[in-house]
Structure 1
Amino acid sequence: MDLKQLEYFVHVAELGSFTKASDLLGIAQSALSRHVRKLEVELGQNLLHRDGRGVSPTEAGKRLLSHGHGILLQVQRAHQEVADVRGAPIGNVVIGLPHSLGRILTVPFVSEFQRAFPHAQLSITEGLTIHLHEWLKAGRLDISVLHDPVPSPSIETFPLQQDDYFLLCPGMAEGARGKTVQLADLAGYPLILPRRPHPMRLQLETQLANLGRKPQVALEIDAVPAIADLVAQGLGYGLVTMNALRVHNGPAQFSFRRIVSPAMRSTLVLGISAERPLTDLAQKTVEMLRSFIPAHLQQRQPRPISKTRNS
């Protein structure tokens, strides 16, 4: 399989258009079409559905596309490993961040990275933990920050910090901040929760089931800012960590109750592939992230919330 043909196919499939891919790659559309067709002939499969509106991958094309990202990234890493021998780390490292942390970590970390590695490139993508986990396994990410990932032999993780979950209440309707709520009592609240298999949703359902209860789901929403907006309008209650809520800049708009008996906690980890070696640049980036993230999040702690717990 010709790597150039694979690269052309990936661009065409992602953009859904030979014309757009031609403009991006700077080659003639006819030449691009010819390369992709040669790849199809070699594999004995049609990789793209073609119509007047553009193109879309066939089932075979979808499978090749999922492998293509990883293959091209591995080739890039191989070039990078050889270049690293000459001196300071260069090349590109790809990091995944949850939506809940991207807005508060991306800008300061980019500045830190550029100071440390002025000749290297950094790519950052955001997503839900379940998607970041899959992209990391597929080789589309070098490193990813994950919330409570499902254990996997293909992913090595390094704990960064633990955060308590709070019941997010509209305004001050639920009393002064700093009070607590029994886990079993959450079954009595109309909750706005992310869909399964979100780690927090699974943790809540499991812990309530152990107490013979189940959650009352008012709405299923995956994005923390949207959950916060809906809570502010009085449409339900949310379960959030303080780190997640800071993205919404909303601590002053709500009241919180720490969940106790038992507590619910989210573990933030740094994940890398256990099956592919890291480049020198990626290894150094892991070391930087392991110190940078806890320190930066600690600096952004809101005013202390009473830690008084129900007896």
Structure 2
Amino acid sequence: MVDLRQLRTFKSVAELGSLSKASDRLRIAQPALSRHIKLLEHELRIELFTRNGRGMVLTPAGHLLFDRTAGLVRQIEQVRDDIQSVGGAPSGRVVLGLVPTVSCVLSTRFARRVIEELPQVSLCIVESYGGHLVEWLHRGEMDLALMYGPSVDLHLSVDTIGRDHIVAVGPSGSGLAEQKEVSIEWLSAQKLVLPSHSHGLRILIEKALSRKNLPIQVVVEADSFRVLTSFVEDGLGYTLLPHSAVRADAAAGRLELAPIARPGIARELIMARPADRQPSIATAAISDFIRIEIERLRSEGLWDIQMTQAGHPDAALR
């Protein structure tokens, strides 16, 4: 009969591709983990991994088992964590997803706050783009994600935190910082470096230009936030990014920024979690702390975000 230990072992080996790495994560001797996998394969009467010199690779049957059980194992672990949290401090593991432009502003401060104030919570921050975060939320492998909307048709439980303002970004010496603001028409006349067509920011920018029937000049594309800023720094073109993500680079003199003339361009910042299960006590605590930390960054002038009433930290604690 398949048991939880076998499924936990299977999940860790599948994610890490190695018995030795899974042994380090689970703190269980490697021979015991190997025995769990063999018992699971015997029970299911099929091989779940292909063993080779580079590690362990899932077979088609292994992929199917992983897709069907990874979220289930996560839910069972959270039930255990919640029982241990009753009457005490929140405890357990929380996997938090962040898009890169949010991660660069929030991650370090937030991790320090969790270590200091939620010492029994094990926080795992995963940085990736919105499409990947949505997939992992649907599969139950991630508990919470902070990313950009729109939130329509995500089929997730979503709270809107606020609207994040987008600014024009240029290289040092471009004179961009001397401009009070730049118009959409000005942006249309510039050579731009932008994410690819599937990226939400690219879609937002193209819509802003198309509303005025303006062309767009994209000289090179990159789906990496840091690659985009390096392109701009080297003078390949201008880009558009959330102010918070490039504020430090501008302060260091590597980039220049200018706001976009009204109505401007803004992105909906959302907090999402799986819709088919209740958040654990630890996940709920992390969710509240995120709102509080974003409000602190806003009040300190480090994040130019217009928070919604629902996203205000006082609302989160009511």
Letter matched to residue 209 of structure 1: S
Structure 2 counterpart of 1:166: 167
Structure 2 counterpart of 1:309: none
Letter matched to residue 190 of structure 1: K
Structure 1 counterpart of 2:132: 131
Structure 1 counterpart of 2:96: 95
Structure 2 counterpart of 1:234: 235
**C-alpha contact (below 8 Å) 2:195/2:224 kept by paired residues:** yes
Aligned pair in 2 of structure 1 residues 249, 45: CA closer, same or farther (>3 Å)? farther
Could you give the per-residue CA deviations for residues 40-84 of structure 1, whole angstroms, max 9, x where no partner exists? 344454322222332212233233334443222111111122222
Could you give the per-residue CA deviations for residues 264-294 of structure 1, whole angstroms, max 9, x where no partner exists? 1122222222221012232232222222212
**C-alpha contact (below 8 Å) 1:160/1:294 kept by paired residues:** no
Structure 2 counterpart of 1:6: 7
Could you give the per-residue CA deviations for residues 30-49 of structure 1, whole angstroms, max 9, x where no partner exists? 55334323323444543222
> Could you tell me how far apart the structure 1 residues matched to 2:135 and 2:207 are?
23
Structure 2 counterpart of 1:291: 292
Letter matched to residue 261 of structure 2: V
- Alignment of 1:253 onto 2:281: no
My pick for the range that moved more, 47-56 or 73-82, is 47-56
My pick for the range that moved more, 237-246 or 23-32, is 23-32
SS at match of 2:260: strand
Give the share of equivalent positions with the same residue, in percent: 31
Structure 2 counterpart of 1:21: 22
Measured after TM superposition, the shift of residue 197 of structure 1 is 2.2
- Alignment of 1:190 onto 2:196: no
TM (norm. structure 2) is 0.82
**C-alpha contact (below 8 Å) 2:101/2:242 kept by paired residues:** no
SS at match of 1:112: helix
> Could you tell me how far apart the structure 2 residues matched to 1:257 and 1:218 are?
21
> Could you tell me how far apart the structure 1 residues matched to 2:254 and 2:192 are?
18
Structure 2 counterpart of 1:219: 220
Letter matched to residue 217 of structure 2: Q
Structure 2 counterpart of 1:200: 201
- Give the number of aligned pairs: 303
**C-alpha contact (below 8 Å) 2:250/2:256 kept by paired residues:** no
**C-alpha contact (below 8 Å) 1:193/1:217 kept by paired residues:** yes
**C-alpha contact (below 8 Å) 2:9/2:36 kept by paired residues:** yes
Letter matched to residue 73 of structure 2: L
Aligned pair in 2 of structure 1 residues 201, 3: CA closer, same or farther (>3 Å)? same
1:54-133 aligned within 5 A: 54-133=55-134
Letter matched to residue 285 of structure 1: I
Aligned pair in 2 of structure 1 residues 115, 256: CA closer, same or farther (>3 Å)? closer
Could you give the per-residue CA deviations for residues 234-258 of structure 1, whole angstroms, max 9, x where no partner exists? 1111111111113646563333332
Which 5+ residue runs of structure 1 have no aligned equivalent? 304-311
> Could you tell me how far apart the structure 2 residues matched to 1:122 and 1:20 are?
19
Measured after TM superposition, the shift of residue 121 of structure 1 is 2.8
> Could you tell me how far apart the structure 1 residues matched to 2:239 and 2:103 are?
20
> Could you tell me how far apart the structure 2 residues matched to 1:111 and 1:261 are?
37
> Could you tell me how far apart the structure 1 residues matched to 2:46 and 2:264 are?
53
Could you give the per-residue CA deviations for residues 91-129 of structure 1, whole angstroms, max 9, x where no partner exists? 232222222232432332233334433333322222222
Could you give the per-residue CA deviations for residues 178-197 of structure 1, whole angstroms, max 9, x where no partner exists? 43333244333221111232
Aligned pair in 2 of structure 1 residues 281, 18: CA closer, same or farther (>3 Å)? closer
> Could you tell me how far apart the structure 2 residues matched to 1:219 and 1:46 are?
45
SS at match of 1:181: coil
> Could you tell me how far apart the structure 1 residues matched to 2:161 and 2:281 are?
21
> Could you tell me how far apart the structure 1 residues matched to 2:79 and 2:303 are?
44
**C-alpha contact (below 8 Å) 1:133/1:146 kept by paired residues:** no
Aligned pair in 2 of structure 1 residues 177, 49: CA closer, same or farther (>3 Å)? farther
> Could you tell me how far apart the structure 2 residues matched to 1:116 and 1:158 are?
24
My pick for the range that moved more, 205-214 or 228-237, is 205-214
Aligned pair in 2 of structure 1 residues 265, 79: CA closer, same or farther (>3 Å)? same
Aligned pair in 2 of structure 1 residues 30, 126: CA closer, same or farther (>3 Å)? same
